[in-house]
Structure 1
Amino acid sequence: MNFLAHLYLSQNNTQIMIGNFIADHVRGNKFKHYSEEIQQGIILHRQIDTFTDTHKIVRKSKRRLHERYGHYDGVIIDIFYDYFLAKNWGNYSQIPLDIYAQAVYRLLTNNKEILPKKTLEFLPYMIKYDLLYNYQFLDSIQQVLNGMNRRTQGKSQMHLALEDLQLYNKELETDFSNFFKELCMFTNSELQKL
């Protein structure tokens, strides 16, 4: 899952949201200096990633893209799943997506002093392009894919993936919807254990 899903799955607990958001920029167990809830958010992020990467529905989604994109198929599916979450946000939250996104940006900006360096470098870009809100639009997904392709120096060919999103739109949206129900149940259970 990508940024929007990880934030949503934190269930509006602001400290868990911060941990869940920064987790990709925290290596190994180098997070013991954070508050207990931020640590829980980092752990939750990793549990979500493991659950997602090993799930049969996600694997089915990735197989649709694997021939063209190889091991980048997972990154693309993460982006596509955030697109479906943003596009169908009203089915999952009573808070409008634009309001939710602005609240997240405020939360992260107000906690800059504890964010890892890579998160701090990414945050202005995320806010400037209002990524969380704009994930629902195909032109924004294309921009994200273009950026990812540039980061791989063109090896990933991710800039072409919008074609696949349009080709498999119905199937991928069904995959997302079925998987996300299971992921929400899994996350609820894990949050109760933390």
Structure 2
Amino acid sequence: MNYLAHLFLSGDDKDLRLGNFIADSVRGALIRLYPPRVQQGILLHRLIDSYTDAHPIVAQTKERLRPKFRKYAGVVADVFYDHFLASGFHHYSPLPLPTFAAEAYLQMQTEPGLLPERVLHFLPYMVRQNWLVSYAQVDGITRALQGLSSRAKFDSNMEVAGEELLENYGFYQAEFERFFPQLQAYVHEQIGLISSSA
């Protein structure tokens, strides 16, 4: 899953949300530098990724994407799924997406001491371009994937992934809508386990 899903799945717990948001930039033993609840958010992020990567519905999505995007099929699937969460956000959250996004941006901007250097670098662009809200539109997803393509180490074709989304929109949307409630249930269970073991 991508940024929006990780933030949303953290619920109302700000420390859990912070850890979930920065997790990709925290390697190995560096996790120990963070407060315990932020560490749990980093762990939750990794659990979400593992569950998603192993899920048969997500495997169907990636299989459809693999001929065009090869090793980047999983990245494209993550971004597509964030699009469907953003475009249908009112089905999953009582908060409007712009309100949720503004609160998430504000939290991250007010806690710079806990943000890894990589996050400090991209956060101003994320806020200025309002990535989380832009994901609700195919144009926004296309821009995100074009940016990822420009930074990819190998030829990725991600710059044309927006066309693929439009061509097979119904298939990807149906897969997301079947998968996401299962992910929500899994995350709810894992938060309970993480909290009870603290």
Q: What's the TM-score bracket when you normalise by the shorter of the two chains?
A: over 0.9
RMSD of aligned alpha carbons:
0.9
3-state SS of 1:94 partner: coil
CA deviation string 1:72-113 (max 9, x = no partner)? 000000000000000000000010110110000000000011
Counterpart Cα distance in 2 of 1:77 and 1:43? 22
Match of 2:169 in 1: 169
Counterpart Cα distance in 2 of 1:38 and 1:127? 22
Unmatched 5+ residue regions in structure 1?
none
Match of 1:74 in 2: 74
Letter in 2 for 1:168: N
3-state SS of 2:94 partner: coil
Match of 1:56 in 2: 56
CA deviation string 1:41-99 (max 9, x = no partner)? 00000000000001000000001110111010000000000000000000000101101
3-state SS of 1:136 partner: coil
3-state SS of 2:34 partner: coil
Letter in 2 for 1:85: L
Say whether 1:143 aligns with 2:166.
no
1:117-156 → structure 2 map (5 Å cutoff): 117-152=117-152, 155-156=155-156
Counterpart Cα distance in 2 of 1:99 and 1:131? 13
Say whether 1:185 aligns with 2:185.
yes
Counterpart Cα distance in 2 of 1:128 and 1:120? 13
CA deviation string 1:25-47 (max 9, x = no partner)? 00123211211110000000000
Residue 162 of structure 1: how far off its partner (Å)? 1.0
3-state SS of 2:145 partner: helix
The count of residues paired between Structure 1 and Structure 2 equals: 194
Unmatched 5+ residue regions in structure 2?
none
Match of 1:106 in 2: 106
Counterpart Cα distance in 2 of 1:114 and 1:134? 26
Match of 1:32 in 2: 32
Match of 2:92 in 1: 92
3-state SS of 1:30 partner: helix
Say whether 1:23 aligns with 2:41.
no
Q: 4+ runs of 1 displaced by more than 3 Å?
A: none
Counterpart Cα distance in 2 of 1:121 and 1:80? 24
Counterpart Cα distance in 2 of 1:157 and 1:175? 22
Q: TM-score, normalised by structure 1?
A: 0.98
CA deviation string 1:137-178 (max 9, x = no partner)? 111111111111111267101011111101111111010011
Q: TM-score, normalised by structure 2?
A: 0.96
Counterpart Cα distance in 2 of 1:127 and 1:40? 25
